[in-house]
Chains A and B, each alone.
Chain A
Amino acid sequence: MGLLEVKGVGKRFGGLQALGNVNLSVQENSVHAIIGPNGAGKSTLLNCFVGKLIPDEGSVLFNGQSVLGRTPHEINQMGISRVFQTPEIFGDLDVMENMMIPCFAKRDGAFRMHAFEGVENEKELVEKAEQMLIDVNMIDKRHMNAASMSRGDKRRLEMAMCLVQDPKLLLLDEPTAGMARADTNNTIDLLKEINEKRDITMAIIEHDMHVVFSLAERITVLAQGTPLVEDTPENIKGHPKVQEAYLGEAH
């Protein structure tokens, strides 16, 4: 059984069938990409994994447990971290403070009234956060205000914030959307490095074929809310149905 098991998921928005009978299995320690043309339901599907949306039918099992009906913070505590299309970071705080928050969340759970310990005195967590910043090459920016950084750095910080929690599953929603070629390649390298170093399971939603083919081990192609095929990148490239779906969009 995969780490994430999606069975018969369907979601309707009024008259629009956004998702219909989606079956998907993300294997542990793999990089699984979900691709598809605009409006295929990729983001809707991802939102069903993290508790932002509740599917009308079907089940989503993570590590054998259902995620349906749980809130985003509960699902994160189960071991799923999410990277957003536009980096969601704590803009008013500095980089180190941004890193400390997921550390506390991981150690103390969804709420703890720790109003008297100083943040600086949490030596163990500070060390952990600093090590993570070294890993993503951001240690020299630790006192920088997060909002004032470049987009590429914000993305890097957001990933570091997710990774410092040692998630079992990392969900990436178009991690290179709106990035220049150079930044995209940097991100690909970073993701590859993470995957090699950390044996982490990743599910990526992506538009950019270059990114998908350089990272993914399995690819699910989504079209009009249903999976067309699920296969290895090599087989997907030459698959007639996939070409049809993408060419169909181009017409």
Chain B
Amino acid sequence: MLGLNKKDTRFLLIVIALTLLTPIILQPFPEGSSLAQFNAGYPDLMQRFAIFGIFAIGFNILFGLTGYLSFGHAAFLGVGSYTVVWMYKLLDYNVIWGLPLAIITSGLFALLIGFVSLRRSGIYFSILTLAFAQMSYNLAYSVLTPITNGETGLQVYTDDVQILMGANEPQSPHFFGIVMRENFWVADIGAWEFTFNNGYYFSAVIAILAFYLSLRIFRSPFGLMLRAIKTNQTRLNYTGLNARPYTLAAFVISGMYAGLAGGLLAAMDPLAGAERMQWTASGEVVLMTILGGLGTMMGPVLGAGFIKYFENIFSKINEQVLRQWFGFLPDGLEGAVVWVAEYFVGSGWHLTSGLLFMLVVIFLPGGLVEGGQKLAGLFKRGKSDEDIDDPEHQPKQSPHVAE
């Protein structure tokens, strides 16, 4: 189906089901219970899962397949956001203008940066991309203020032209009248509350398309060439293939994914700021990809979800919550435990995610996907030994270097 073999079709269907059911799956704890704060089924966070999933899927096409580690992909994220906000300012709030244009502008931008950076490989390539991204960040922050509105960030003002703006049109991002920030259904079932948000489903459908596209690329001759580039460029050259256009194409495609993700960020919240282009944002997508499983289909999405979950959930936990949890302990001990635990939550959530990242890289070099496979292997072994080593969804362990 859809040009995929049976196994991939099944895989895609599972991904679609999981994506569409996310508002339910991420809301496992009843409202008002002490565990409710671990629920992640609220619109803002789910939108982030989908959007950063797209970002990571695209990044994986470059980093996972070719092994070229870019440290500058946040620049494309930023370009995408600025493009979409500019379309709000010039035309109207319908995202249909901005999103395709975000893909085009970030693609052109990636073509330029890729053309220069891909003259080198390995660490030099990484440094070149980093330099370009930091240049873009600083330009956006100061020099290009007329375009980017500098440190305030780009936003829509009431005196903007908005030439297509209709009389009854919504005053926030929408897709032909479907307003992104509105929920189309809030279901109260028993103690549970499930929120079905327009913006999430809009991003989710695009994320599914992005995933499908990347699945096709993975299984295509083009994808095979990209993996060949990672493995042995000498053999590739002596086999009559030119690596440069392949890597450049991969770079541009991943840049377009990043631009789309950036555009979607602005589609959920009509703002664009220079900080979106900062190197920490570039580093984040590298972490997502490695954490989830480099070069695997699901890995980057899982990694993106994992990091965004910790960023949002762990950073909300504060001293009060901790005191509540450890209230059963004797007073002195409670104080000590809370004092230690505090370093790992709230603004210290980076410490937790850093430790988890270290654990994953050391014990599961194939990322979360490998962890999942190991678990699945344990369960399956009881039943039958076949099919554990499914080579399609369980790529061979790839070396953790950006050659």
List residues of chain A with CB under 8 Å of any chain B CB.
50, 71-73, 76-77, 81-82, 84, 88-94, 97, 100-102, 104-106, 108-120, 122, 143, 145, 161, 165
Give the shortest distance, in Å, between A123 (CB) and chain B (any CB).
Answer: 13
With A88-B235, A115-B217 already in contact, the answer to whether A110 and B398 are too (CB < 8 A) is: no
Contact residues in B for A101 (Cβ distance below 8 Å):
224-225, 228, 236, 239, 241
Contact residues in A for B231 (Cβ distance below 8 Å):
90-93
Contact code string B191-233 (vs A, CB < 8 Å = 1, else 0): 0000000000000000000000000110111111101101110
Give A104's nearest chain B residue, CB to CB.
B221
With A88-B235, A101-B239 already in contact, the answer to whether A116 and B224 are too (CB < 8 A) is: no
B241 touches A93 (CB 8 A): no
Give the shortest distance, in Å, between B165 (CB) and chain A (any CB).
Answer: 38
Stretch at the interface among B11-19, B242-250, B271-279, B370-378: B242-250
B240 touches A165 (CB 8 A): yes
Contact code string B376-403 (vs A, CB < 8 Å = 1, else 0): 0000000000000001000010100000
Give A77's nearest chain B residue, CB to CB.
B240
Q: Using a CB-CB cutoff of 8 Å, which residues 1-25 of chain B contact chain A?
A: 3-5
B234 contacts A by Cβ under 8 Å: yes
With A90-B228, A92-B398, A113-B249 already in contact, the answer to whether A120 and B241 are too (CB < 8 A) is: no
A-B contact pairs, 23 of them (CB 8 A): A72-B238, A76-B237, A76-B238, A76-B240, A90-B236, A92-B230, A92-B398, A97-B228, A100-B224, A101-B225, A101-B228, A101-B236, A101-B241, A104-B241, A110-B241, A111-B246, A114-B220, A115-B223, A118-B216, A119-B220, A119-B221, A119-B224, A120-B219
Contact residues in B for A106 (Cβ distance below 8 Å):
240
Count contacts between A and B, CB distance < 8 Å.
116
- Contact partner, A116, options B5, B220, B398, Cβ 8 Å: B220
Contact code string B135-156 (vs A, CB < 8 Å = 1, else 0): 0000000000000000000000
B241 touches A73 (CB 8 A): yes
A97–B237 CA distance with the chains assembled, in angstroms: 16
Give A105's nearest chain B residue, CB to CB.
B240
A112–B391 CA distance with the chains assembled, in angstroms: 26
- Contact partner, B241, options A94, A105, A117, Cβ 8 Å: A105
- Contact partner, A114, options B222, B230, B234, B236, Cβ 8 Å: B222
A118 touches B220 (CB 8 A): yes
Contact residues in B for A110 (Cβ distance below 8 Å):
240-242, 245
A104–B228 CA distance with the chains assembled, in angstroms: 12
B222 touches A143 (CB 8 A): no
B239 touches A102 (CB 8 A): yes
A102 touches B240 (CB 8 A): yes
How extensive is the interface on chain B, given as a class?
A: 20 to 34
Q: Which of A76, A91, A105 has the most CB of B within 10 A?
A: A105
A94 touches B246 (CB 8 A): no
A82 touches B240 (CB 8 A): no
Contact residues in A for B236 (Cβ distance below 8 Å):
73, 90, 101
Give the shortest distance, in Å, between A83 (CB) and chain B (any CB).
Answer: 9
Contact residues in B for A76 (Cβ distance below 8 Å):
237-240
Give A148's nearest chain B residue, CB to CB.
B396
A91–B4 CA distance with the chains assembled, in angstroms: 26
Contact residues in A for B234 (Cβ distance below 8 Å):
84, 88
B238 touches A88 (CB 8 A): yes
Give the shortest distance, in Å, between A112 (CB) and chain B (any CB).
Answer: 8
Contact residues in B for A82 (Cβ distance below 8 Å):
238
A88 touches B240 (CB 8 A): no
Contact residues in B for A118 (Cβ distance below 8 Å):
3-5, 216, 219-220
B217 touches A92 (CB 8 A): no
Give A83's nearest chain B residue, CB to CB.
B238
Give the shortest distance, in Å, between A145 (CB) and chain B (any CB).
Answer: 6
Can you add 5 more A-B contacts, CB < 8 Å, to A111-B246, A114-B220? A73-B237, A100-B224, A104-B241, A105-B241, A145-B396
A246–B282 CA distance with the chains assembled, in angstroms: 59
A134–B181 CA distance with the chains assembled, in angstroms: 60
With A91-B232, A118-B5 already in contact, the answer to whether A111 and B396 are too (CB < 8 A) is: no
Q: Which of A90, A100, A143 has the most CB of B within 10 A?
A: A90
A139–B228 CA distance with the chains assembled, in angstroms: 21
A117–B3 CA distance with the chains assembled, in angstroms: 8
A118–B249 CA distance with the chains assembled, in angstroms: 18
A116 touches B238 (CB 8 A): no
- Contact partner, B238, options A81, A111, A113, A145, Cβ 8 Å: A81
Contact residues in A for B222 (Cβ distance below 8 Å):
112-115
- Contact partner, A111, options B4, B5, B224, B242, Cβ 8 Å: B242
Contact code string B66-78 (vs A, CB < 8 Å = 1, else 0): 0000000000000
A76–B222 CA distance with the chains assembled, in angstroms: 19
Contact residues in A for B235 (Cβ distance below 8 Å):
88-90, 161
A115–B220 CA distance with the chains assembled, in angstroms: 5
Give the shortest distance, in Å, between B269 (CB) and chain A (any CB).
Answer: 32
A76–B5 CA distance with the chains assembled, in angstroms: 33
A106–B221 CA distance with the chains assembled, in angstroms: 13
A104–B246 CA distance with the chains assembled, in angstroms: 14
A88 touches B232 (CB 8 A): yes
- Contact partner, A117, options B5, B221, B249, Cβ 8 Å: B221
A114 touches B221 (CB 8 A): yes
Contact residues in A for B228 (Cβ distance below 8 Å):
90, 93, 97, 101
With A111-B245, A118-B3 already in contact, the answer to whether A105 and B221 are too (CB < 8 A) is: no
Contact residues in B for A114 (Cβ distance below 8 Å):
220-222
A122–B224 CA distance with the chains assembled, in angstroms: 13
Q: Using a CB-CB cutoff of 8 Å, which residues 241-295 of chain B contact chain A?
A: 241-242, 245-246, 249
Q: Using a CB-CB cutoff of 8 Å, which residues 279-321 of chain B contact chain A?
A: none
- Contact partner, A94, options B220, B245, B391, Cβ 8 Å: B391
Contact residues in A for B4 (Cβ distance below 8 Å):
118
A105 touches B398 (CB 8 A): no
A105 touches B3 (CB 8 A): no
A91–B403 CA distance with the chains assembled, in angstroms: 14
